[in-house]
Amino acid sequence: MSSLTITLIQPNLFWEDKKANLEMLQKKIESISEKTEVVILPEMFSTGFSMKPEMFAETMDGNTVQWMKKNSAERKIIITGSLIIEDEENYFNRLVWVLPNGETGYYDKRHLFAFGDEHSHYKAGNKKLIASVKGWKINLQICYDLRFPVWTRQSPGKSETQYDLLINVANWPEKRSTAWKTLLQARAIENQCYVAGVNRVGEDGNKIYYNGESMIIDPLGEIIYIKNKEEDIFTYTLQKEKVNEVRKQFPFQEDADSFIISE
């Protein structure tokens, strides 16, 4: 059975300082001693959760995506995380998925955080990104998406499930950490998949504190890894056999309700 090794980077981001964040994350990536295949950075890893896209947005040919491509190619790893992108005169909170050969995929955050006024500054996406790596199917999402289970739910009535691993990159405040942990576990249980949630630590420019609690959860909802309040880099190998065993032993998806998501 196929395995997949992922590395979660939980940093303390510099507020709206791209140069400092990329230099800091460069050192963290270079410090990874274990062999890994996918490196996951948090939401808006180059700026923090900024509502100033007119100041910090880049194109897909900009410095930050080029930085991702360079690290991906040199280390032969996939790198992913979200950043502020301008595309066709719109701003997006966009998760970029970069392969070592330079190819990219992306997912634009569907659920914009109106409580933080994100909807006033960014355009919502409406398409999922399911990436494929070594026989693994990976669903890629951003922060607030976690609160909306229908957007994450495996489609019923299919001969194969849509994905085996859910990755959620976030800037999720400590005040709502109970929701963060509970929802990550719920998404793993109901979709019978691994879940990797990658958050930041520290205080941002709006005096909002983040306690991290980046997590890896198995398809039964058991917590494999969690880190609270401190910066951390954690590498773990996921086993596809575990996903298959859980789905075979507990074929709950066969009883799932049908639904259609409208755009």
Q: Could you read off the pLDDT of 166-218 as tens digits, one per residue? A: 999 999 999 999 999 999 999 999 999 999 999 999 999 999 999 999 999 99
pLDDT tens readout for residues 94-126:
999 999 999 999 999 999 999 999 999 999 999
Q: What is the mean pLDDT of the chain?
A: 96
Mean pLDDT calculated for residue range 16-33? 98
262 within domain boundaries? no
Position 5 pLDDT exceeds 70: yes
Cα dihedral 107, 236, 32, 133, rounded to 10, equals -40
261 within domain boundaries? no
pLDDT of residue 95: 99
Mean pLDDT calculated for residue range 225-250? 97
237 within domain boundaries? yes
Other Cβ atoms within 10 Å of 177 Cβ, number: 16
| Percent of the chain with pLDDT strictly greater than 90 | 92
- What CATH number should be reported for the domain holding residue 176? 3.60.110.10
Q: How many domains does the chain have?
A: 1
Give me the domain span that covers residue 63: 3-255
260 within domain boundaries? no
Query: 176, 199 in Cβ contact below 8 A?
Result: no
pLDDT of residue 105: 98
83 within domain boundaries? yes
Query: 32, 39 in Cβ contact below 8 A?
Result: yes
pLDDT tens readout for residues 122-151:
999 999 999 999 999 999 999 999 999 999
- Record the pTM: 0.96
Catalytic residue annotation: 43, 109, 143
| Percent of the chain with pLDDT strictly greater than 70 | 97
Query: Can you tell me the distance from the alpha carbon of 133 to that of 2, in angstroms, rounded to the nearest whole number?
Result: 10
The phi and psi torsions of 212 (rounded to 5 degrees) equal: 75, -105
263 within domain boundaries? no
CA angle 103, 17, 206 (to 5 degrees): 115
Record the tokens describing residue 7, joined without a space: 């590395």
Mean pLDDT calculated for residue range 82-89? 97
Exposed / middle / buried, residue 121 (Cβ in 10 Å: 0-12, 13-18, 19+): middle
46 within domain boundaries? yes
pLDDT of residue 157: 61
149 within domain boundaries? yes
